[in-house]
């Protein structure tokens, strides 16, 4: 045993179910709790995620009795300096599998090793670490359903029995402190482990039993809203899966399958880090895309929630109001951007990442590529969502649209999905549709021919 260790928090801002605590407690009698404010991550995060992170750090600091050291800088400089400062032989982390996280950790590991110290990885933000589940021939899965079956068969550990007292925490030297919140227009969910657990228990008590039937209904708003808590590791998927194990209902199984999507996309991104920016299916490089001033104007209308298609506009406005959007509506607005406006999915993905509080590179980029048809195991490109029928089906009384589009608040029932058909025309202040969906659908299919020819 050495004098001390460092626990470096990243996407695991909690004290319960923390295998890194057990590893640190094994390695040394006491440990320093560290978070590094890395400008390379903070910059592109967007104000909602930055502010949420700062709030979550405050909650973690409180749980650790005010002993979280927060330092700004490049982790490759900060972590070895802090480790040397407290005489730690080991720095404990949960492994990061994202493209940037892996590069960063390799750099930190190297600088620590130069100084005779070690980076120790224990666990990850996933029930099964990306890269573990493979086909019988050792290659990664490219299709979700067989991945999910193999992932289920692989199984996962139960939650680790930890809390703040598992480790004897050192009093840190003064650091840079947790920054003040950024100015954010959106109303953010409460941050921190306690809030995550409350949200999860409320969903277990009153939500999961109807998840199968309600999850596609943005008007009902009955999904778990755990994505942001999972993103920051305020709760671990292991905890969710363990609690679900006693529930045998079909709905609980559907919820578990959604957790598996998160794990699948992390696995795909590990094997194809290039797919964060480029088409996973490179034949889609041949898809002709809109460009020029007209394309930029249409993109601006989409971002502002002023396309004239109510379900699309409601989704884009929910994104601004809550830094979150319902999954069904994410698919609808994404389809609209790619197949009605013929814009690159990367534009939409970047806009989402700028605003989403749960913005996660693997789930976001692959959620986009799934809709665009260029992803692994995607929705077929020729299946073009009709924004009117999607609205009528999943928001049958128009409540979701009226909640987010005040110009349409007085339009009753499902008529809200086609305001251009109202006897008095489109209500004042709301735009006419910016495109003719039927014509753009044909256009999308014609453009898609270029992809099939490139195969
Ligand atoms: P629930 O329905 O309660 O699901 C529970 C959990 O399962 C979620 O919290 C999430 O961790 C996981 N999950 C559910 N659906 C998916 C899915 N399709 N892909 C991956 N994981 C899933 N999710 C993110 O966490 N971050 C993103 O940046 C993100 N971007 C997306 C972009 C697009 C275009 C699309 C179509 C989907 C995206 N998703 C993203 C997936 C999904 O929309 C959100 O996870 C979900 O809406 C979060 O709300 P919830 O926690 O109430 O979900």
The model's pLDDT over 412-440, given as tens digits with 9 standing for 90+, comes to 999 999 999 999 999 999 999 999 999 99
**Burial classification of residue 139, based on how many CB atoms lie within 10 Å of its CB (0-12 exposed, 13-18 middle, 19 or more buried):** exposed
How far, in Å, from the CA of 363 to the mean position of ligand 1? 7
pLDDT at 380: 84
Lowest mean pLDDT among 5-14, 21-30, 378-387: 378-387
Assembly ipTM: 0.99
Q: Tell whether residue 448 is among the known ligand binding residues.
A: no
CA distance 214 to 30: 47
Q: Whose CA is nearest to atom 45 of ligand 1?
A: 227
Q: Which atom of ligand 1 is nearest to the CA of 215?
A: 2
| Ligand 1 centroid from CA 331, angstroms | 10
Q: Is the dihedral of CA 306, 307, 309, 311 positive or negative?
A: negative
Pocket test for ligand 1, best of 145, 258, 259 (most atoms within 8 A of CB): 258
Structural contact between residues 10 and 68, judged by C-beta atoms closer than 8 angstroms: no
Pairing of strands 68-72, 31-37: parallel
Does the beta carbon of 359 sit less than 6 angstroms from any atom of ligand 1? Answer: yes
Over the range 336-360, which residues count as b (16 or more CB within 10 Å of their CB) and which as e? bbbbbbbbbbbbbbebbbbbbbbbb
pLDDT band at 216 (very low <50, low <70, confident <90, very high): very high
Contact 315, 326 (CB under 8 A): yes
451 lines ligand 1 (CB under 6 A): no
pLDDT in tens, 269-297: 999 999 999 999 999 999 999 999 999 99
pLDDT-based confidence at residue 247 (cuts at 50, 70, 90): confident
Nearest atom, ligand 1, residue 265 CA: 20
**Amino acid 382: pLDDT:** 84
User: Which among 405, 402, 395, 315 is positioned nearest to 355, based on CA atoms?
Assistant: 315
250 annotated ligand binder: no
Q: How much is the pLDDT for 455?
A: 82
Residue 261 is labelled as binding a ligand: yes
224 assigned ligand-binding residue: yes
Q: Is the pTM of this model over 0.90?
A: yes
- In short, whether 225's Cβ falls inside 6 Å of ligand 1 is yes
| pLDDT for 377 | 81
The preferred substitution site among 358, 361, 368, 377 for testing ligand 1, maximizing ligand atoms within 8 Å of CB, is: 358
Tell which residue, 336, 284, 270, has the closest CA to residue 309.
336
pLDDT exceeds cutoff 90 at 368: yes
> CA-based angle 326:188:7, to the nearest 5?
105
Nearest CA to ligand 1 atom 33: 367
- Is any atom of ligand 1 closer than 6 Å to the C-beta of 4? no
Q: 262 alpha carbon to ligand 1 midpoint, in Å? A: 7
Convert the pLDDT of each residue in 67-112 to its tens digit.
Answer: 999 999 999 999 999 999 999 999 999 999 999 999 999 999 999 9
The overall average pLDDT reported for the chain is 96
Distance 227 CA to ligand 1 centre (A): 6
Q: Does residue 261 line the site of ligand 1, with CB under 6 A?
A: yes
**Over 80: is that where the pLDDT of 378 sits?**
no
| Cβ pair 52, 191 in contact under 8 A | yes
User: How many Å lie between the centroid of ligand 1 and the Cα of residue 453?
Assistant: 33
- Identify the pLDDT of residue 2: 66
Cβ(54) – ligand 1 distance below 6 Å? no
Ligand 1 contacts CB of residue 356 (under 6 A): yes
The verdict on whether residue 144 carries a ligand-binding annotation is no
Beta carbons of 31 and 167 less than 8 angstroms apart: yes
Question: Which residue's CA is the nearest one to ligand 1's atom 3?
Answer: 224
Q: What is the band of 442 on the pLDDT scale with cuts at 50, 70, 90? A: very high
The tens digit of pLDDT for each residue in 164-215 reads 999 999 999 889 999 999 999 999 999 999 999 999 999 999 989 999 999 9
pLDDT band at 1 (very low <50, low <70, confident <90, very high): low
């Amino acid at each position: 045993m050495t004098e001390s260790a460092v626990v470096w928090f990243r996407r695991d801002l909690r004290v319960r179910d923390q295998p890194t605590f057990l590893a640190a407690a094994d390695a040394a009698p006491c440990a320093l709790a560290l978070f590094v404010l890395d400008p390379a991550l903070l910059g592109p995060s967007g104000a909602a995620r930055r502010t949420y992170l700062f709030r979550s750090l405050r909650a973690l600091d409180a749980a650790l009795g005010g002993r979280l050291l927060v330092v700004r800088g490049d982790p490759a400089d900060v972590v070895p300096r802090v480790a040397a400062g407290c005489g730690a032989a080991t720095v404990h982390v949960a492994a990061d599998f994202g493209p940037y996280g892996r590069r960063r950790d390799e750099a930190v590991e190297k600088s620590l090793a130069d100084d005779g110290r070690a980076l120790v990885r224990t666990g990850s933000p996933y029930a099964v670490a990306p890269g573990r589940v493979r086909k019988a021939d050792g290659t990664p899965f490219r299709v979700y359903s067989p991945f999910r079956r193999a992932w289920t068969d692989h199984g996962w550990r139960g939650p680790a029995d930890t809390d703040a007292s598992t480790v004897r925490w050192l009093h840190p030297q003064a650091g840079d402190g947790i920054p003040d919140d950024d100015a954010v227009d959106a109303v953010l969910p409460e941050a921190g482990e306690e809030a995550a657990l409350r949200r999860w228990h409320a969903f277990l008590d009153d939500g999961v039993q109807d998840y199968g039937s309600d999850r596609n209904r943005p008007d009902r708003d009955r999904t778990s809203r755990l994505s942001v808590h999972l993103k920051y590791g305020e709760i671990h998927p292991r905890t969710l899966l363990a609690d679900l194990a006693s529930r045998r209902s079909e709905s609980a199984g559907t919820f578990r399958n959604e957790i598996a999507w998160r794990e699948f996309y992390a696995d795909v991104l590990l094997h194809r880090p290039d797919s964060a920016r480029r088409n996973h299916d490179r034949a889609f490089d041949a898809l002709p895309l809109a460009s020029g001033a007209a394309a930029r104007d249409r993109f601006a209308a989409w971002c502002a929630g002023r396309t004239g298609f109510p379900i699309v506009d409601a989704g884009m406005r929910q994104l601004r109001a809550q830094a979150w959007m319902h999954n069904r509506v994410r698919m609808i607005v994404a389809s609209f951007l790619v197949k009605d406006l013929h814009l690159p999915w990367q534009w939409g993905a970047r806009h989402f990442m700028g605003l989403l509080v749960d913005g996660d590179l693997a789930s976001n980029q692959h959620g986009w590529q799934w809709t665009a048809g260029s992803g692994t195991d995607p929705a077929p490109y020729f299946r073009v969502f009709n924004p009117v029928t999607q609205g009528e089906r999943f928001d049958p009384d128009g409540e979701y649209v009226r909640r987010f589009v005040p110009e349409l608040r007085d339009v009753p029932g499902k008529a809200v999905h086609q305001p251009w058909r109202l006897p008095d025309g489109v209500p004042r202040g709301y735009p006419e549709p910016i495109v003719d969906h039927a014509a753009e659908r044909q256009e999308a299919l014609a453009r898609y021919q270029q992809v099939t020819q490139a195969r």
